[in-house]
Structure 1
Amino acid sequence: MARKIHQKHLQQLVENSDPRILLGDPFRRETVKVVLYRAEGEDEFEKTGRVACTLCNAILSETAGSHIKRHVEDNCKKRKNSKNEDDIEEVPAKQRKMTEFNQKKLLHMQIGKITSACAKFCLRSGKSFNFCSSSAVTQYASDIIDAIVPGFDAEETMKQLPTRNTIQKHAETYSKDIVKRAFETVSEYAGKRLCLLVDHGKLIHNYLSIYGSFVDEHFRLQLIPLGFTPALEGKSIVETARLIASRFEENGISEDVAYQSYLTADGALSGLSNHFRKFIRCVSHSLNLLASRSLKPLDRHIYKFDNNELKILSNLDEIMMNAGQVSNAIRTNVKLCEKLSKLPALSVQTRWLIGLKCLVDIVALSEEIQSNFSLLSNIGKQAFSKLSADGFKTARTLIAFFDEFLTYNDVFQSQKEVSLHLVLPLYKRIEERWRKYIKLNFSGLVPELLNTEILPLLAKSGLTALDYYYQEFSDIHYAAVLLSPGTKRMQMFEKDEIKKAKNLIREMLPRGPSPPKEAKKSEEVGGIESLYALVSDSPIEEDFEQDELKTYLSEHVEFGRKESVESYWRRKKNDFPQLYDVAAQVFSIVPSESVCETAFSTASYLLDKRRTRLGAERAELVVLGCQLASKFPEWL
């Protein structure tokens, strides 16, 4: 264990040849030796974690890196400028060139500002530390400095500019400050209306991405990154809950308060419902599974289909696979990429809707692909031939059947406004549409371009999957529909579903009457108004006990008026103060945790190829700092 001694104090001891100091074995260079220290009353010398240059007594860190080489070859003032490392003599001052004293260099304050600017740029832009310390960027910075203040030598200026490690160190300092500010912002809503969004992923190590969402005092949805936590012990439910709680405890929020949060995640983490206030099923994962299981029914549903129907569904699933093969054949062929107006989406096995987007792109580019058919690989040619065998009718049918999935999945993933109230109505709309197909009602479609014979089977399979995944949504989704003024009548829902929504809202409402509204005082009161106020009836207790929920439901809604849910509740804050708090809790919940996945792409860009050299905790700090700085640049 190295003894920790302040660097300035250690420098004085070395310069004064203090008996408590001993220079030990050479470290990477003959002129650089390990510094040992013996405390008073002790017999043995201990390592200090530092090394000293025997020529100039400079104290350096005893760690791996190029700092030793730079000091010996460039920075040591007692070393002669010679290629022969054995020829080491102190250069007399009278032999030094005058340019060494009058050469224009950056001041210490200027270097500090440049380093700070580089660190902030990395965090705000997501660029890697290697990029900011690359020769191209340092040359660019040198040119700018020379353009603003001429007279600097480019080579010397580039030597003074910060290295990768220096930029990273400053970025970590900034990250600590803005992470602290993020938790200070969240602490006001923790245990009340805070919702957590979590997702596991891997980047060298397993990480748990954590976001917090809440509706602020102006009824605006806010999403704040809270963690990119190393999950080194695994991805179990208990471990995930522990990681979330410890993340909050590290920043001054107790475990009990953290567990009072709502939590949105995919179905694999549904066990977290035993730890947090309420588990919210991620709608993006649900939509992907619903679409996927419309072509590949769950094992528990296979008995509902005969062999012929299962074969047709298997052929339809093969079309999706063929589209992915064509896309892969295009994107791996440079010549073909140059000839197409755009590149098709690359199919991903874990995200079925991306495969659907791939199919949409292939059909849109079909004429261009056909004209360059010879450039495709053999696998690509076979797959494209199968897709175009019926003039893309079957492919267009699949696109028409699932078209709303792509559109509205993007709505839930954007997460710029509250959207929880739209989840169940979307499923009801999909259900209504598919039931029309079973009844051979194809209104809104162009039958000449489609294979309408497969639509009833697709609808049957889709409705079977929809009934299963619809049950995964909780009563909080029904409450969100009821608290949206445009859908509060819940005309698409059954009576028991409406009752479920009302019961939850009544449970969330405070016990007791609503506070009485204070009448606005008029600045000038005339005689009639004064007398009328004196003789008017006094309010009785029953007037204050009127249920806010009943008043809200009976209120007239102008359906032609375009008003967002946020605007409505901002306007009604004083009319329904208790119901406003309930709405703020409900709409603080984000229905999709897809924003958590952006943390991993941010990390891959920021940490670059050197990410394996960073410890997991330091990687967490810089990634989280980058996410916060890009979202809240004014915090830096």
Structure 2
Amino acid sequence: MSAAWRYFTISEKEARIAICKTCSADISRGGVTAKTFSTSGLLHHLKSKHPDKYAEYDEITSAQKKKVLPSTPTPSVADLFEKVKKFPSDGPKAKGITRKLMECIAMDDQPFSVVQDVGFRRLIEHIEPRYSLPSRRHLADVCLPELYNVVANHIHELLATDITAISFTTDIWSSDVSITSMLSLTAQWIDKDFKLQKILLHSQEFRGSHTAQSISLAFANMFDTWHIDRPKVHAIVSDNARNMTKAIEECNLSGIRCMAHTLQLAVNEGVLAQRSVKDLLAISRKIVGHFKHSQLAYSRIEPIQDELGVTTKRFQQDVSTRWNSTYYMLESLFAQKRTLATYSADHDLPASFTPNQWILMENILSILAPFEQLTREISSSDASVADVIPLHAALKRLLRKEVETDRGVKTMKSTLLESVNTRFADIYSDPLYCIATVLDPRYKDNYFDAGKKQSARDMIQAVLDKENPREEAAAHSTGDVTQTTDKRARLSTAEEERGQPPSLSDMFNEIMEENTTPNRLVTSSTAQQLDDYLSEVPIPRSENPLGYWRNKQDRFPDLAKVARKYLSAPCTSTDSERLFSAASHVLDEKRNRLMADKAEKLLFIKKNLPLFLNK
């Protein structure tokens, strides 16, 4: 709007007349329609009648003109053509976009055919019209190998750093939508800054019979591909399959049985294999299956849940290979006990529980709750082999305690305890477990009895002697004179009053309270380090043991080296299992004809590329 209107207003009676704010004179706007109106007559009135106002107007317009940006030059025809010209396929801009497209396909489990989808092509055309999408064949045959090689070079550089020992997990997986089987190998180690590093090395196709010899040969080829020296291989974590354990033995490597799989066998043997429990589970599966396969049944039960104030949720189906899924199924049913009773009054169910079976279900849940907590702990990304002995000790003590919920399931509980003891019988004599446990500052030697404490100490001292041969002659302590109190921990008064059964955490506290600080005679510097370390109060279980060693490596340099090696091993093969969960997304119904070598490259990129995105 013109600055002239600071001094005039439009007449309310006649739009073509402006009124001077200074003298109230009527001034014509120079036309009869809005298109022909102008401010010339208004400015002439100001200049002749109110020169001071006109001078003010002139200053305002001059200042406005100075603020106006210079006009943009009219682009040439050549510039216009350049803006619509397609990028050359080998140009840096096109290559950069294609690289990001390939990363997107690998990391987000997208099929190569996404470049043929109409919606995706329209999106790219809108974002950057000058970019030409490559074909799916170009992405699969050219871009995928290029990106794989880039990530593989990063992995080679990472493996060439200062690594004292590497631990591995392995597993075999078969696809549900194709005939492909894969053998995995994931690696993890603790770097010089005491940070846990994890990578995927292989998820290669595994053809033919899964014999121990074939698996052993595949391991050897994997290690050679990544130039991993055998002395650096600390341990390989696998399931309890005989062919896998034998293959590790044939490679002359140390093997660790997956604690989650061992717990699966123990629970199946101690609880789920009993006749009364089998009958209970059969009924549970029928009821859950009824609601899983009938949307009408769910629509009928949801109003009942709302009316009873019960959380609206679906029942969980169990999987035979995962005992904790059976626990979650029973838990979901027991939480809906009132709901199911109300539902069955008006609608048919394929089966129902007797009062005794409801009591049995509650007792089973009470028995298995610590196992569920333990499984969650060992399945975490930072769980290590050092957790096995403490968790076993706490679990064993908990199963020995008698509580009110044991009525009717004492035999089951004792059978479960026996199964747990049998399955984990060797851990207290295996250096992989014992050394890792003692060198974990959360546990130390508090989870061993007097005889096993000295044995674990001797194991560590033997490793220290091997690393420091000059001190070997004087590297033995004169004996363990640890004084262990005979006090037995009890449940807190508050818990007794509430009548709550003890938990796995209570068992950890009891064991720690029963152990006193050891006093030993020392005859070597390495033994002195071990003594000083063991004399310190353990750190809380919630803290990171690697952070402790990062801060204490200058004080305990020899122990820190051993800790860096033995704490690198996980206690489960969860990393490999999570890998194959990702594999099921890569080899799905939409990509069931994807070649195994391409599936491996996609998995390799998906798992390892995030490690280098910010570098």
Does structure 1 retain, via aligned residues, the 8 Å contact 2:115–2:136?
A: yes
State the partner residue of 2:285: 324
Does structure 1 retain, via aligned residues, the 8 Å contact 2:288–2:315?
A: yes
Give the C-alpha shift of residue 418 in structure 1: 4.4
1:166 & 1:498 partners in 2: Cα distance? 62
1:576 & 1:138 partners in 2: Cα distance? 60
Counterparts of residues 211-610 of structure 1 (less than 5 Å): 211-253=186-228, 256-257=230-231, 260-268=233-241, 269-271=244-246, 272-295=248-271, 313-337=274-298, 341-370=312-341, 372-373=343-344, 381-383=349-351, 385-386=352-353, 389-390=355-356, 392-415=358-381, 417-437=382-402, 442=403, 447=404, 452-473=406-427, 474-490=430-446, 492-509=447-464, 510-512=467-469, 545=525, 547-557=527-537, 563-609=543-589
2:287 & 2:166 partners in 1: Cα distance? 44
2:546 & 2:137 partners in 1: Cα distance? 45
Give the C-alpha shift of residue 367 in structure 1: 4.2
Match of 2:149 among 159, 176, 179: 176
1:610 & 1:319 partners in 2: Cα distance? 39
Give the C-alpha shift of residue 249 in structure 1: 1.6
Q: Give the structure-2-normalised TM-score.
A: 0.68
Structure 1 pair 476/353, CA: closer, same or farther in 2 (3 Å)?
A: same
Gaps of 5+ in 2: 1-80, 303-311, 473-521
1:163 & 1:238 partners in 2: Cα distance? 41
2:262 & 2:269 partners in 1: Cα distance? 10
Structure 1 pair 560/469, CA: closer, same or farther in 2 (3 Å)?
A: closer
Does structure 2 retain, via aligned residues, the 8 Å contact 1:123–1:630?
A: no
Give the C-alpha shift of residue 316 in structure 1: 1.5
State the partner residue of 2:507: none
Code of the aligned partner of 1:429: A
Q: Secondary structure at the match of 1:213?
A: strand
Code of the aligned partner of 1:202: S
Q: Secondary structure at the match of 1:392?
A: helix
Gaps of 5+ in 1: 1-100, 146-151, 298-312, 516-541
Counterparts of residues 83-162 of structure 1 (less than 5 Å): 104=84, 106-108=86-88, 109=91, 110-131=93-114, 133-145=116-128, 152=129, 160-162=132-134
2:161 & 2:208 partners in 1: Cα distance? 31
1:368 & 1:134 partners in 2: Cα distance? 47
2:112 & 2:185 partners in 1: Cα distance? 24
Give the C-alpha shift of residue 334 in structure 1: 3.1
Give the C-alpha shift of residue 504 in structure 1: 2.1
Q: Give the structure-1-normalised TM-score.
A: 0.66
Provide the aligned C-alpha RMSD in A: 3.1
Deviations 1:251-276 (CA, angstroms, capped at 9, x unpaired): 3345x457x44111111122213424
Code of the aligned partner of 1:453: R
Does structure 2 retain, via aligned residues, the 8 Å contact 1:186–1:212?
A: no
2:395 & 2:143 partners in 1: Cα distance? 51
State the partner residue of 1:65: none
2:297 & 2:613 partners in 1: Cα distance? 41
Structure 1 pair 418/602, CA: closer, same or farther in 2 (3 Å)?
A: closer
Structure 1 pair 131/349, CA: closer, same or farther in 2 (3 Å)?
A: farther
1:472 & 1:575 partners in 2: Cα distance? 33
Give the C-alpha shift of residue 614 in structure 1: 3.3
Give the C-alpha shift of residue 577 in structure 1: 0.8
Does structure 1 retain, via aligned residues, the 8 Å contact 2:184–2:203?
A: yes
Structure 1 residues 177-186 or 361-370, which shifts more? 361-370
Give the C-alpha shift of residue 103 in structure 1: 10
Does structure 1 retain, via aligned residues, the 8 Å contact 2:442–2:541?
A: no
Q: Secondary structure at the match of 1:218?
A: coil
Give the C-alpha shift of residue 222 in structure 1: 1.8
2:285 & 2:245 partners in 1: Cα distance? 31
Give the C-alpha shift of residue 574 in structure 1: 0.7
2:438 & 2:389 partners in 1: Cα distance? 11
Q: Secondary structure at the match of 2:379?
A: helix
